[in-house]
Structure 1
Amino acid sequence: MEQLHIMHTNDLHSHFENFPRIQRYIADERLQDQILNQETLVFDIGDATDREHPLTEATLGQANIEWMNQIHYDAVTIGNSEGLYYDHQILEHLYDQANFPVVLANLWENNGQLPHFAQAYQMLTTRQGTKIGVIGLTASYKRTYPLVQWDVHPAADVLPSLLTKLRPQVDILILLSHLGLNQDRQLAQTYPELDLIIGAHTHHLLPQGEQQRHTWLAAAGKYGEQVGNIYLDLENHHLQTVRVKTTPVTEINSQPEDQTWILEQQRKGERLLEEQVVATLPVQYERVPAPHSSLDLTFQAMEELTNCQIALLNTGLFLTTLLAGPVTENDLHRQLPHAIHVMKTTLSGQDLWRLAMEVEKNRGFLSNFIQKGMGFRGKFFGDLVWDGLEVDPRTRQVFYQHQPLQPSQKYQIALLDHYLFIPFFPTIEIMGENEIIYPDFLRTIVSKYLQRTFGGGEKRDDKTGK
């Protein structure tokens, strides 16, 4: 009887506070497997990096790769935090120093080739000769991947041919899936050739796994709060039994030096960002609406970028105040840590009126709404504020430049792509002509505006990392 122990992580999102215990657990389990003569494999299923953490931001993910190299992963795939949070050229070189393979079958260069850092699958052979095929797939965001010059394909476009090719060659076939639980379940029902789907993306936790027909599903939640374990028993290279469990990091012993290391990663990132002085501000810009507010600075940056005279923002975006004097990339990162982009939307006057009514309808609810995901890294959504547009909620009239909106006239508005992805403003998606502006995050747009307006620093280019 051959025994195989698979450990897996997913959606770590740069939660460095859990990394020491994860690393210690995997090392201890590997040692125990050696004693028991069990084979060990370790996989990561994407979204390992997140630019919310200052060290990831400062190093454009390289600090994460350095840590992952210490884990000695047997294979990883990428998530949208890698695929969409970095410019094309940054992602091209994210894994230059990695000591593990990146399996990724559905993200291609525009010339139809896989990127140089990736391979569609990995073939592994255990000490006893069992052959294991490992495929990687990531969520196919067709709207946004082309904005960073990637050609992404749905799983159904690439998986059948890979299964036809690999299934006859292997004893065990594993999919590293950054697709989400619903799609994992669908794939398990559709493709019984898959023995195991290790999932991610929707942050789902399957503490004891889930069996769909022939295929087992596993997933370890989010943020490194759990480490996944899958135990396979094989007889003559044939899979006999599968057991799945997850181990909470709270059950893994911590060491006194852990907290020192965690704090040092935070401080190291902050120091690197503090070295990048953006501008010198003449006055303090408050986090909330005020005579001098960060909200107004951001409106000006967005409107200048998009050549619009109307803009909309929510106050929950702004986490800190910008003090008078030198402002650094660390200040902007602390204020606007979000993975959110500026978007230029064109609407008819009739549809802009409808959007304004949606804003009014949801205003009270959203003020204290705890917003999670879709790039937002704050807590409360906050108040909605227009620039260049006046709304009279009593009469339901909307004015632009003190004149009522003309129903058939076209208006251009500076928004955020976040508003397209959350469900509160359906008019944006249904009726809007939407141009999402990549690769810069909102804070980078503000940074460049401050440098042009107030001077006093050199801005790193997010396209080159320099």
Structure 2
Amino acid sequence: MERLHIMHTNDLHSHFENFPQIERFVAQQRKKDQQIHQQTLLFDIGDASDRVHPLTEATMAQANIQWMNKMHYDAVTIGNSEGLYYDHQILEQMYQKANFPVILDNLYETDGTKPKFVQSIKVITTAAGTKIGILGLTAPYLLTYPLLGWDVRLVQDILPALIAQWRPQVDVLILLSHLGINTDRYLCQKYPQLDIIIGGHSHHLLPKGERHNSTLITAAEKYGHYIGNIYLTIKNHQLQKMRAKTVATATLPVKATDENIILAYQQRGEQLLQSRAIAKLPYRLSAQLSAPHPALKLALKALEQATGSPVAMLSSGLFLTDLPAGIITENDLHQQLPHAIHLMKTTLSGQEFWRLMMEVQKNRNFLQIFPQKGMGFRGKIFGQIVLDGVTINEGTRQVFYQGQEVVPNKKYSIALLDHYLFIPFFPTLQIVGDNQLLYPDFLRTVFGKYLAHKFPLKAGASHDRN
């Protein structure tokens, strides 16, 4: 009889504050497993890195890779945080120093070849000779991956051939699935050849897993709050039993040194970003709309310049801190705008543009204190909607674009954020918008470039006062 213990993490999102406890738990479990002759494996299911943490931002996730190397993962797949938060070249090079394989079956170069940093399957042969096959799939964002030069493919176009090829060659088949719980449940019904689906992406917690016929689904929520555990019993290379449980990281012992380790991660990232100067501001750029020189007003101009649109829209909840007068750095900008959000230019007919502005008016008061989460947003509330170049007469419901009332059949463009496309408050964008998403730069990157040009570090280097 052979016993196997699989530990797994998912959607860590650079929550370094949980890393010390996870490290100790994994090390202790490996030691216990060794004592009872139980083989141990460790997998990650994607979104391990998140550029909201300054150390991830400063090192382009190399600090995360170093930590994962120390953990000795047996295999990982990637999530959309890795796939969409970094430009093509950075992702290509991200895992060059990794000591673990990246299993990913539905991401390709645009010429149809597999990226050099991935492999299609990892076959692990246990001490008893049992063959464990590991596949990996990530959420196929068809709209955005091509903007970064990637060809991402649907699960149904990839998985059947993989199963047909590998199921006869392995004793146990496992899918590392950064696809979300609903897709995982569907895959259980559609592909019973999969023995185990270890999930992520939708931040769901399955404390004891879920059994769907012969397939076990597991998941460990998000941010390192939990560590997943799967226990397998195998006889004559045939899977006999499967059991899953999650362990809450908060229940694990804390050492006095943990706080210093966590603080060191934060300080190292901030110091690296602080060393990279961007601009020299003549006055403080407040995050408050009521204060002089609010940052949001300049950010609207940055959007207009970057997109070529004469009008723009932003929300005040994006701006978490002020920018001080004097030299500002990447750290200042990262603290103000930690979001993984990109610019978007939308073109609409006058009639559609009017409807979008009516949606803005309808939702304005509600969104001002709405606790927005996800979709790249890393703040607390959505905040106040601010328009530049557009005015709305509430009494007559007229909309004016650069001082002229919109004409129903004329085309109008507006600069805004892809974030607004993915949330449900402005359906006009999704239904009829001609949306041009601008990748790979985040909002803070675009804003930083604008400030660098408008307020250069060397006086007299620029005369742009727009």
Q: TM-score, normalised by structure 1?
A: 0.97
- Once residues 128 and 230 of structure 2 are traced to their aligned partners in structure 1, the CA distance between those partners, rounded to angstroms, is 18
The amino acid that maps onto 2:438 is I
| Map of 1:70 onto structure 2 | 70
Structure 1 residue 404: deviation in Å?
1.2
What is the DSSP-based 3-state SS (H/G/I as helix, E as strand, rest coil) of the residue aligned with 2:250?
helix
Q: Which deviations, in whole Å up to 9, do the C-alpha atoms of 1:351-410 show, x marking residues without a partner?
A: 010000001111111111100000000000001111100011222111122221111111
Match of 1:80 in 2: 80
1:117-136 map, 5 Å: 117-136=117-136
Please name the residue that 1:260 is paired with.
Answer: 260
* Superposition pairs of residues 322-341 of structure 1, within 5 angstroms: 322-341=323-342
The one-letter amino acid of 1:389's match is V
Task: After TM superposition, list the pairs within 5 Å mapping 1:293-332 onto structure 2.
Answer: 293-332=294-333
Q: Counterpart of 2:161?
A: 161
Equivalences for 1:162-241 in 2 at 5 Å? 162-241=162-241
Which residue of 2 is the match for residue 427 of structure 1?
Answer: 428
* Coordinate RMSD, CA, aligned: 0.7
5+ residue gaps, structure 2, are 459-466
Q: What residue number does 2:411 align with?
A: 410
TM-superposed deviation, 1:291:
3.5
Most deviating of 399-408 and 94-103: 399-408
CA offsets, 1:227-265, max 9 Å, x none? 000001111111111110000001111111111010001
- Which amino acid is the alignment partner of residue 199 of structure 1? G
The size of the alignment, in residue pairs, is: 457
**Structure 2 counterpart of 1:31:** 31
What residue ranges of structure 1 are gaps of 5+ in the alignment?
A: 458-466
Find the residue that maps to 1:103 and give its secondary structure.
coil
Q: Give, in whole Å, the separation in 1 of the partners of 2:402 and 2:83.
A: 40
Report SS of the residue matched to 2:51: coil
Shift of 1:185: 0.5
1:346-425 equivalences in 2 (<5 Å): 346-425=347-426
Q: Give the Cα separation in 2 of the matches to 1:443 and 1:430.
A: 27
% identical equivalent positions: 60
| Cα separation, 2, equivalents of 1:160 and 1:34 | 36
What SS class does the counterpart of residue 317 from structure 2 fall into?
A: helix
Which residue in the other structure is 1:280 paired with?
A: 280
| 1:166-205 Cα deviation digits (max 9, x unpaired) | 1111110000000000000001100000000000000000
CA distance, structure 2, for counterparts of residue 136 and residue 417 of structure 1: 27
* AA aligned opposite 1:246: T
Whole-Å separation in 2 of the counterparts to 1:288 and 1:393: 24
Partner of 1:460: none
Structure 2 partner of 1:13: 13
- TM-superposed deviation, 1:212: 1.1
Give the letter aligned to residue 412 of structure 1: S
Q: Secondary structure at the match of 1:440?
A: strand
Q: What's the CA shift string for 1:118-174, capped at 9, x where partnerless?
A: 001110100001111000000000000000000000111111111001111111000
CA distance in 1 between partners of 2:383 and 2:183 (Å): 33
- Give secondary structure in 1 for the equivalent of 2:17: helix
Deviations 1:55-106 (A, max 9, x none): 0000000000000001100000000000000000000000000000000000
Scaled by the length of structure 2, the TM-score of the pair is 0.97
1:198 alignment partner, SS class: strand
Distance 2:381 2:433 in 1: 26
SS at the partner of 1:93?
A: helix
Residue 120 of structure 1 aligns to a residue whose secondary structure is coil
AA at the equivalent of 2:74: D
Q: Distance in 1 between matches of 2:360 and 2:313?
A: 10
Q: Which secondary structure state, in structure 1, belongs to the residue aligned with residue 206 of structure 2?
A: strand
Instruction: Output the amino acid matched with 1:337.
Output: P
Amino acid at match of 2:300: F
Distance 2:199 2:205 in 1: 9
Secondary structure of 1:119 counterpart: coil
Distance between the aligned counterparts of 1:229 and 1:383, measured in 2? 44
Amino acid at match of 1:367: Q
Counterpart code for 2:258: D
Deviations 1:401-422 (A, max 9, x none): 2221111111110010000000
Give, as a single letter, the amino acid of the residue that structure 1 aligns with 2:173: L
CA distance in 1, matches of 2:64, 2:308: 37
Question: What is the deviation of 1:276?
Answer: 0.6
Partner of 1:47: 47
Match of 1:464 in 2: none
The residue that corresponds to 1:463 in the other structure is none
Partner Cα separation in structure 2 for residue 431 and residue 291 of structure 1: 37
Deviation of 1:112 (Å): 0.8
How far apart in 2 are the matches of 1:319 and 1:328?
Answer: 16
1:16 partner amino acid: F
Secondary structure of 2:285 counterpart: coil
Offset of residue 213 of structure 1: 1.6
The CA distance in 2 between the partners of 1:425 and 1:394, in whole Å, is 21
- Cα displacement (A) at 1:298: 0.3
Partner of 1:152: 152
Secondary structure at 1:321 match in 2: coil
Divergent runs of 4+, >3 A: none
Separation in structure 2 between the aligned mates of residue 244 and residue 180 of structure 1, nearest angstrom: 18
Q: How far apart are residue 307 of structure 1 and its match?
A: 1.2
Determine helix, strand or coil for the equivalent of 1:437.
Answer: strand
Q: Which residue of 2 aligns with 1:61?
A: 61
CA-CA distance at 1:309 after TM superposition:
1.2
Tell me the residue number matched to 1:442.
443
Residue 457 of structure 2 is matched in structure 1 by 456
